Amino acid sequence: MPIRSSYPNGIPAWIDIASTDAEAAKRFYGDLFGWQWIPEPLTDDETYWLGYLDGQPIVGLTGMTPGMVESGMASRWFRYVAVDDVDATLAIAVLSGGTIMAPAMEVGTKGRMAFVRDPVGASIGLWHSDEIPGSGLILEPGVPVWQELHALDLDAVGKFYGEVFDWTATATSRPDGSDVVMFAVGQEPVAGLATPSTAEVATDWHVYFYVDDVEATASAVLSNGGKVAAAPEGDTGGVHAAFIDPTGAAFSVYSSPTEVGE
């Protein structure tokens, strides 16, 4: 069981979901990935739920207020990058063309965070915490394994994330001919950047969870009230599929190449 206890500056460290129905989301992901939910009260009226797996924190969850739901906000997953200094990184993000979505703030006693929108409209969180630096497990079923940004302006995105997080970019092509950029911090791959299949696809980050069996996961998604957005498919890089949870949040799963052809 690979445990990760630290996240250097620039490494994606945490994800959480803001849901229109927190109880439904907790049931769905608990059944699907085996997460156990522990409440962390933030205020008298607000609770942040930590999803644990094998005794390690994996993800977070918060419920939207009635006002948020009535305004039409949809459930979605958010991504956070570990930084040494939230305030300093936020300033760099603004100078690099980003827009502040949420200013730097304390999250209870757990850490400090902020949110920015990059130059092409995708949101990314900044996170610093000594108590919960990030997901406590890696490369285990039910654990975040990858994130990929779909955007049309690859140059603008690469410049922004390079300046803010010191990500280096390497361009390549997929077997279908689409462009893809791999981001890394040092020698550690941290994220992907790809052009969407059509211009109508929204610019956003997509989160992937590791699973042993994508086909079995697809069946479990359906039996628990979710939907299949992209059916399982595989190549030499592995097998993946995309889903929508019962509250409307999109997510994807991935399994290693050993599943291909089985």
Return the HEC string of 108-131. CCCEEEEEEECCCCCEEEEEECCC
| 92-119: average pLDDT | 94
| Residue 234 φ then ψ, to 5° | -145, 165
Q: How far is residue 251's CA from residue 224's CA, in Å, rounded to a whole number? A: 15
Q: How far apart are CA 78 and CA 18, in angstroms?
A: 8
Q: Is the pLDDT of residue 258 over 80?
A: no
Give me 138's structure tokens: 């890696």
pLDDT band at 195 (very low <50, low <70, confident <90, very high): confident
User: pLDDT of 209-242, one tens digit each?
Assistant: 999 999 999 999 999 999 999 999 887 678 999 9
Q: How many CB atoms lie within 10 A of CB 73?
A: 14
Kindly report each contact of residues 84-93 with a partner whose C-beta sits within 8 Å and lies 24 or more positions away, as own/partner: 84/9, 84/128, 85/128, 86/112, 86/113, 86/114, 86/126, 86/127, 86/128, 87/114, 89/114, 89/126, 89/164, 89/165, 90/114, 90/116, 90/126, 92/163, 92/164, 93/118, 93/126, 93/160, 93/164
**Per-residue tokens: 34:** 């085996």
Cβ atoms < 10 Å from Cβ of 121 = 12
Instruction: Inform me whether the pLDDT recorded for 178 exceeds 70.
Output: no
89-to-147, 154, 162 alpha-carbon distances in Å:
20, 21, 12
C-alpha to C-alpha distance for 227 and 243, rounded to whole angstroms: 6
**CA–CA distance from 16 to each of 60, 114, 124, 186, 256 (Å)?**
4, 14, 12, 26, 24
| 107-129 residue pLDDT tens | 877 899 999 999 999 999 999 99
User: Is 169 in contact with 193 (CB distance < 8 Å)?
Assistant: yes
Predicted pLDDT at 259 = 43
The rounded percent of the chain whose pLDDT value lies above 90 is: 73
pLDDT confidence of residue 176: 63
Two tokens, residue 70: 């009535």
**pLDDT tens per residue, range 34-67:** 999 999 888 878 899 999 999 999 999 999 988 8
Q: Please write the tens of the pLDDT for every residue from 234-253.
A: 876 789 999 999 999 999 99
Quick check: 13 and 134 in contact, CB under 8 A?
Answer: yes
For the entire predicted model, the pTM comes to 0.92
Domains belonging to the chain, first-starting first, are: 1-138+147-197 (3.10.180.10)
Per-residue b/e over 200-237, b at no fewer than 16 CB within 10 Å? eeebbbbbbbbbebbbebbebbeebebeeeeebebeee
